[in-house]
């Protein structure tokens, strides 16, 4: 079965640079979520989108922005990178509509971002 | 705000035996969903099992089952006939029934001894 695809899998950036992470949800899934998992920590919810609109916002820094496109893929844009942004970034997807708050979230493999 | 607590940072089990991982949560909501996710060394987050709060029956998926005690706000995971491939970090997660924010516990690292 098709899974959530994230690219790139690994990314190395310098401080103050920008980074863009991409997420391609499971086919027919129209809801996308972004999580940040720091070293030795549990995943923290950043933001979610349903039908190309932001649906919930968590602990996403103002330096980060995200959007969902017409094909339902999503991009997380990170600017003015800091050392503390080094983490594993997960994207998850689920069915939307009436099920968007109840359907299980399926996670992608994650993008490991290292900020030097 | 909802919180999820996993009080066992590490657990170990002998292969083929049974182990139970604990999870408690705090909420004032009546509509919510609970999950156990497994994160092996590959760091992939894999869904293990899901429980709807409105269901009294405990969820079961093959060797994995939960003991959901709604009044006590407890949601433990039982792994039967443990296998080497079960070794991973296990996260308990809570999701409200009316938003997309999912809260995770700190995780329990499970070691399976041959």
pLDDT of amino acid A113: 97
Nearest to B45 among A31, A48, A90 (CB): A90
pLDDT of amino acid B4: 95
pLDDT of amino acid A26: 92
CB B100 to CB A45 under 8 A? yes
CB B97 to CB A33 under 8 A? no
Beta bridge partners of B92: B36
CB B91 to CB A43 under 8 A? yes
pLDDT of amino acid B98: 76
Interval B13-38 mean pLDDT = 95
Nearest to A55 among B44, B46, B100 (CB): B100
Pairing of strands A53-57, A44-50: antiparallel
Beta bridge partners of A64: A78
pLDDT digits 0-9 by tens, B84-111: 999 999 999 998 877 777 899 999 999 9
Which residue of chain A comes nearest to B35, CA vs CA?
Answer: A104
CB A42 to CB B106 under 8 A? yes
Interval B8-34 mean pLDDT = 95
| DSSP structure string for A21-78 | EEEEPPTT--EEEEEEE-TTS--EEEEEEETTEEEEE-S--TTEEEEE-TTS-EEEEE
Interval A79-95 mean pLDDT = 95
CB A45 to CB B91 under 8 A? no
User: In the A/B pair of chains, how many CB contacts fall below 8 A?
Assistant: 58
B42 touches chain A (CB under 8 A): yes
pLDDT digits 0-9 by tens, B44-81: 889 999 999 988 899 999 999 999 999 999 999 999 99
Residue A67 burial (C-beta neighbours within 10 Å; 0-12, 13-18, 19+):
middle
Q: Which of B54, B44, B16 is nearest to A110 (CA)?
A: B44
Q: How far apart are CA A50 and CA A98, in angstroms?
A: 11
Of the candidate ranges A88-102, B3-17, B37-51, the one whose mean pLDDT is the lowest: A88-102
Residue A28 burial (C-beta neighbours within 10 Å; 0-12, 13-18, 19+):
exposed
pLDDT of amino acid B62: 93
Q: What is the DSSP letter of B63?
A: T
């Amino acid at each position: 079965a098709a899974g959530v695809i994230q690219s790139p899998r690994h990314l190395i950036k310098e401080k103050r640079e920008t980074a863009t992470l991409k997420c391609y949800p499971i086919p027919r899934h129209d809801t996308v979520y972004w999580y940040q998992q720091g070293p030795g920590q549990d995943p923290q919810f950043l933001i979610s989108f349903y039908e190309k609109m932001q649906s919930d916002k968590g602990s996403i820094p103002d330096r980060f922005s995200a959007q969902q496109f017409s094909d339902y893929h999503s991009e997380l844009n990170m600017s003015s990178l800091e050392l503390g942004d080094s983490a594993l970034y997960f994207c998850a997807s689920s069915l939307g509509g009436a099920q968007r708050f109840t359907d299980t979230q399926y996670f992608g493999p994650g993008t490991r971002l290292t900020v030097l | 705000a909802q919180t999820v607590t996993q009080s066992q940072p590490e657990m170990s089990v002998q292969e083929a035996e049974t182990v139970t991982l604990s999870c408690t949560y705090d909420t004032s909501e009546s509509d919510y969903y609970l999950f156990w996710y497994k994160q092996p060394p590959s760091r992939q987050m894999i869904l293990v099992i899901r429980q709807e709060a409105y269901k009294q029956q405990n969820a079961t998926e093959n060797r994995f089952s939960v003991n959901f005690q709604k009044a006590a706000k407890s949601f433990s995971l039982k792994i039967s006939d443990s296998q080497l491939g079960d070794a991973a970090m296990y996260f308990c997660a809570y999701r409200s029934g009316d938003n997309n924010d999912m809260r995770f516990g700190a995780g329990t690292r499970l070691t399976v001894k041959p």
